[in-house]
Amino acid sequence: MQNKVAAAAGFAALTFVTVPASAQVAPGGDPVLYWNQIAMANIDGDPGLGGRAYAMVNIAVHDAINATMGSPDRSYTGSVANGGGDSRAAAAVAAHDVLVNLYPTKTAAFDAALTASLATIGNGSAKTTGMATGQAFASATIAARASDGFIAPFPTYTPTGQPGNYVPTTPGPGFPVDGQFATATPFVMTSPTQFRPGPPPALDSIAYAVSLNDVEAIGSINSIVRTADQTASAFFWENDPERPYLAAAIDQSLASGKSPLENARIFATLTTAIADAPITAFDAKNLYNIWRPVTAIQNADIDGNPLTTADPTWQSLLVAPPFQSYISAHSTVAGTAASILDLVYGTGVGFCATNTVGTRCWDSFDAAALDDSKSREYGGIHFSFDDQQGLASGYQLGAYAFNRNLFGAVPEPATWAMMIVGFGAIGASMRRRQSAARVRYI
């Protein structure tokens, strides 16, 4: 059976790089922000599984904090503990226990962070009760996601031999990985197909030819049209689709003085939506089964399009990830994150992120998402239609997650009528926002 061990050996490039928030949170600071920083510093490997991990951590943290405060919010995992106790202790143990379960080789780092967190809380019944509350919600979160399909075996794949269909690329494991995401249980969406896009352009269309010729020029390892900044963008975003947005959220929450409960809502909403983005992307990848640009360009003589020309020697700047091209998972994550960050912190918020490649700055979350998306074309590993539709699907998913409000305050009965009216207004507003976003980015 094709499995993740084989994929890890065959495709070692799927790794994360650290993107810290510019302002570090101390162990005695906001526990939501502190433990997201701990997660960011230690979560590695497959980005899709990393997204799942962030979501699980933040579900457990939100529900634990909520329970210590008398449950003013909806609980994602339900009423699994009596609650009460110190919210900081509850959040720390909840995050720690989920992280240890998912990344046991990092236990020492998580234990050290827990010790540092708990040392800032005075001993007593509030502390011990809070710790028990955190443990209960961590266990509930782990149990709820134990059979969610994210870590199921990769689906078996046999190349069809048809022009346009995916052919495993080299270097790589020889088969597409991560296809199981397409049927995983979503965190927020009602089904994996909820935001399924329409098909990509036909091989014999003008739109396909334009996209292929564009990526052939700008994404070549020997490109003479790609700028230095575009090259930097390709390498910056290569394997880290989530962390810059989480770092930005930490900074903005610190700057705006949000409370731990507010941050618990925000980060649970953001990370569960981000975790659903690969489900949307891989649903489309498996369904449409589109070849990567390197295969398309080298074999353009069989695509039936008179506007394309084969170049059997063409190579992309970046190594193509070992799975189908349409839609871009990076772009789907980018659109999802930017949509929620816009709605929480506002548009036009500038920020910077740093990793081992360098530092990049943007004047808005939308600008970062567009840079993230376009970077896949600069790297030669995606067509423009992969990225454009990925962004569009991501913006739809982000707006849906925000408006579904799974972690929001439980409304008083008298407010239901007002909420019904409000939801209609929000829906109309988001439709206008998404239309504008599509005009802007596609």
pLDDT tens by residue, 333-365: 999 999 999 999 999 999 999 999 999 999 999
Q: What confidence tier does 286 reach under pLDDT thresholds 50, 70, 90?
A: very high
Chain position carrying tokens 């509850």: 90
pLDDT of res. 330? 98
Determine the length of the chain: 442
Better-predicted residue by pLDDT, 7 or 106 = 106
pLDDT of res. 213? 99
Q: What confidence tier does 22 reach under pLDDT thresholds 50, 70, 90?
A: low
Classify domain 22-144 at the CATH superfamily level. Answer: Phosphatidic acid phosphatase type 2/haloperoxidase (1.20.144.10)
| Integer Cα distance of 90 and 112 in angstroms | 16
What average pLDDT does the structure give for the chain? 90
SS3 353: strand
SS3 66: helix
Average pLDDT over residues 399-412: 90
Phi then psi for residue 362, to 5 deg, are -140, 155
Residue ranges covered by each domain of the chain: 22-144, 179-441
Q: Does residue 93 surpass a pLDDT of 50?
A: yes
pLDDT of res. 112? 99
pLDDT of res. 432? 42
Q: Which amino acid is at 247?
A: A
| Integer Cα distance of 322 and 300 in angstroms | 20
SS3 165: strand
Share of the chain above pLDDT 70, in %: 88
Who's near 385: CB < 8 A, 6+ residues apart? 200, 201, 207, 208, 211, 326
User: Which residues does residue 361 pair with via DSSP β-bridges, in sequence order?
Assistant: 352
Query: Quick one: tokens of 36?
Result: 């997201």
Average pLDDT over residues 20-48: 90
3-class secondary structure for 269-301? Answer: HHHHHHHHHHHHHHHHHHHHCECCHHHHHHCHH
SS3 222: coil
Chain position carrying tokens 């900074």: 251
Query: Quick one: tokens of 4?
Result: 């993740």
Q: Where does 179-441 sit in CATH, by number? A: 1.10.606.20
| Integer Cα distance of 2 and 167 in angstroms | 16
User: Which residues does residue 351 pair with via DSSP β-bridges, in sequence order?
Assistant: 362
SS3 162: coil
259: left (phi over 0), alpha (psi -120 to 50) or beta: beta
- Residues 360-399, buried b or exposed e (16+ Cβ, 10 A)? bebebbbebbbbbbbbbbbbbbbbbbbbbbbbbbbbbbbb
Alpha helices, DSSP H only, in 289-383? 293-298, 329-345, 365-378
SS3 409: strand
pLDDT of res. 412? 57
Q: What confidence tier does 430 reach under pLDDT thresholds 50, 70, 90?
A: very low
User: What DSSP line would sit under 75-132, residue for residue?
Assistant: PSS-S-S---S-HHHHHHHHHHHHHHHH-GGGHHHHHHHHHHHHTTS--SHHHHHHHH
Q: What confidence tier does 50 reach under pLDDT thresholds 50, 70, 90?
A: very high
CA distances from 285 to 51, 126, 139, 315 (A): 18, 49, 33, 22
